[in-house]
Amino acid sequence: MITLTQKHRFSVPVNAENITPDIFKTKTIDEIKALHIFEGNRRRVIADLFKVEYDDTSNEDVIIRLVGDLIKLKKIGAKMSLGKIDVDGSVGMRLGEEMRGGVITVKGNADSWTGTMMKGGMIEVFGSAGDYIGSSYRGSTEGMKGGTIVVHRDAGSEVGCFMRNGLIKVHGNIGSFAGIHMSDGTILVEGDSEGRLGAQMRGGKIVLLGRVPSILPTFTVNSIRRRATVGDERVSGPFYLYNGDLAEKGEGRLYVSQSKNPHLKVYERYLPS
């Protein structure tokens, strides 16, 4: 295990794309200490910002442990394909950007764009996460294509924007526009949504166990289902099943808890007989 302990509190964003098991795997400890890292617009090396310690074990996987208040440390685990990163604290934006494999765990919170354009692997955040989880870059339509993201508390808006595949689970509440533009994959939300679920979605599945203020008028009610399938898991309902977004000729599926949304009972008159 390689442990990086923050030496001082960061006052400006720090670009940490070199902190990844793929890069560390081929380096000695001295070479790791000398890897470049930008603190704002100043070029530093890792040893300037972190105390670097190595615990020699027989484990073949590269394990990186980060310790500190790292909310300004961005792009941790960018493009990683192997190994593990454990963060003992909170982290900045673009955690696991374009990640292809391996595991990232965060004990605290994660900022926006967690799992941006992710292709594989797993990210688990035990606190809350910001906006655009599993989404695309600004101006791109290439969102998350694979892997799993789990957030144990709340998440922000536009979860799964332009999502192409993979699985996102949020145990708490979410903001608005979850699943916007998604074409495949699955989003499970155990808490409430602020609304606009599945706007402009063309495919994929959103499962909401909590409350949503309303359903977009471009979705049509299909049936009432006893359960929904999320990966290998069956989630108990009953759920209202909606299809849409019809404005995009979409074939997405929106499962919304019947018991948590009594105000949606009006839709039952439109159920096929």
Summarize pLDDT for 191-218 with one digit per residue, the tens. Answer: 999 999 999 999 999 999 999 999 999 9
Summarize pLDDT for 90-121 with one digit per residue, the tens. Answer: 999 999 999 999 999 999 999 999 999 999 99
Tell me, yes or no, whether 256 lies in a domain. Answer: yes
Tell me, yes or no, whether 264 lies in a domain. Answer: yes
Mean pLDDT of 238-258: 97
Structure tokens at 129: 């996460």
What is the amino acid identity at position 144? Answer: M
Tell me, yes or no, whether 161 lies in a domain. Answer: yes
Tell me, yes or no, whether 263 lies in a domain. Answer: yes
Tell me, yes or no, whether 28 lies in a domain. Answer: no
Tell me, yes or no, whether 119 lies in a domain. Answer: yes
Distance CA 110, CA 89 (A): 9
User: Is beta strand 205-208 parallel, antiparallel or unpaired with respect to 252-257?
Assistant: parallel
For residue 57, the model assigns a pLDDT of: 59
Q: What is the DSSP string of 93-135?
A: SSTTTT--SSEEEESS-B-SSTTTT--SSEEEESS-B-S-TT-
| Confidence category of residue 59, pLDDT binned at 50, 70, 90 | low
Tell me, yes or no, whether 180 lies in a domain. Answer: yes
Distance CA 98, CA 210 (A): 30
* Residue position matching structure tokens 């440390």: 73
- pLDDT, mean over the chain: 95
Domain of 240?
A: 112-270
Distance CA 203, CA 103 (A): 27
Summarize pLDDT for 15-50 with one digit per residue, the tens. Answer: 999 999 999 998 999 999 999 999 999 999 999 999
CB neighbours of residue 57 within 10 Å: 9
Report the domain count for the chain: 1
